[in-house]
Homo-oligomer: A and B are copies of this chain.
Amino acid sequence: MSAFGFELLGTDGAARRGRVTTAHGVIDTPAFMPVGTAATVKGMTVEAVEATGAQIILGNTYHLMLRPGAERIARLGGLHDFMNWRKPILTDSGGYQVMSLSDLRKIDEDGVTFRSHLDGARHALTPERAVEIQHLLDADISMVLDECTPFPASEEAAAESMRRSMRWAARCRAAFDPRPGYGLFGIVQGGVYPALRRESAAALTEIGFEGYAVGGLAVGEGQEIMFRVLEDTVPALPQDRPRYLMGVGKPDDIVGAVTRGIDMFDCVLPTRSGRTGQAFTRQGTLNMRNARHKEDTGPVDPECPCPTCAKHTRAYIHHLFRADEMLGPILLTRHNLHYYQALMAGLRAAIEEGSLDDFAAAFDADHAHPTP
């Protein structure tokens, strides 16, 4: 087990090519983390996830603390053993899902109390308990408990929310048991207000974390504002630590965020879209339920080397979705995750070659094509 670390291998403008080292292995950045909410990337075996090239997945503390429970997962050897995923895992703190999924939530200085959306049982999540749960889960990367400031929020409300999150971040840091290969990331908040974002980044840097996340984005503000906030925030973060943009995003969001210096991403989009029939391709998105695919013998994405595209036609995928067959979501989730990992591999190669501008321009041109 090696120390938790981040190595900056190269840069291209603001973009960075790096490598995160954790207890369960390395993560080449820029990296995309598939979401494995309830100890499974929905519809994917762990072998299939690994075959996409993913080097890290994300688990959701909120779901796992409710079912099967953090103490149970700890007794079963931690989340890696439980789901038999041997590579790194990042867990969120649970705060975001508490606010979006649970009932009767109440937030105060101590933390948040809520009722489970599953059975109505009462639970509390404090900064200390959020860190403890993530320790029980054996997450390589834990996240501080924070409040994801809603959008829109007044500057006053955003400031108040952010400053409480910073006090929680300090409590999380104090509660975190330092172990080689394990890290705790702080989360920058502050809404769309540059001064608040810089204040938050400075507060977190003062506390000191193994990595820094940008939170509170992709909540309805739109890509232009999101990119502007990144331009305000990223320069205020330490150069020698990984930077993680939470919950983002669409492929063009990721390309734009990488050019602005982000190293890590997670999003439900490739998996959720895979279940509803939306395919990501190198020529834009496709709705596989659309009747125009019904006798199309071409693959979902002619340029994709994934097993779904190598072995199956659009006509077949279309049929599977029309017939509500599980194999449709299975095959399309697999393709979408391959697409996302191929995008990250392309971004990493472009940064290494110093050709990220060309990559981004070609990406924009491809995705401006009408869908075939």
Contact = CB atoms under 8 A, between A and B. Distances in A.
B330 A43 contact: yes
A297 B76 contact: yes
Contacts of A307: 45, 47
Interface string A31-67: 0000000111011111100000000000000010001
A39 B316 contact: yes
B84 A295 contact: no
13 contacts: A39-B319, A40-B320, A40-B325, A45-B327, A45-B331, A67-B322, A68-B294, A68-B322, A72-B294, A75-B295, A76-B295, A76-B313, A84-B312
A82 interface: yes
B68 A319 contact: yes
Contacts of A72: 294-295
A311 interface: yes
B316 A82 contact: yes
Interface residues of A, number: 38
A323 B59 CA distance: 14
B327 A42 contact: yes
A211 interface: no
A62 to B, nearest CB: 13
A312 B45 CA distance: 11
A326 B45 contact: no
A42 B47 CA distance: 19
Given A40-B327, A46-B311, A68-B315, 9 more contacts: A39-B320, A40-B320, A40-B326, A43-B330, A45-B331, A68-B319, A83-B316, A84-B312, A330-B330
Interface in A322-352: 322-323, 325-327, 329-331
A330 B38 contact: no
Q: Which 9 A-B pairs have the closest CB atoms?
A: A40-B327, A43-B326, A38-B323, A68-B319, A40-B325, A84-B311, A76-B315, A42-B326, A67-B323
A331 B45 CA distance: 8
A167 B83 CA distance: 56
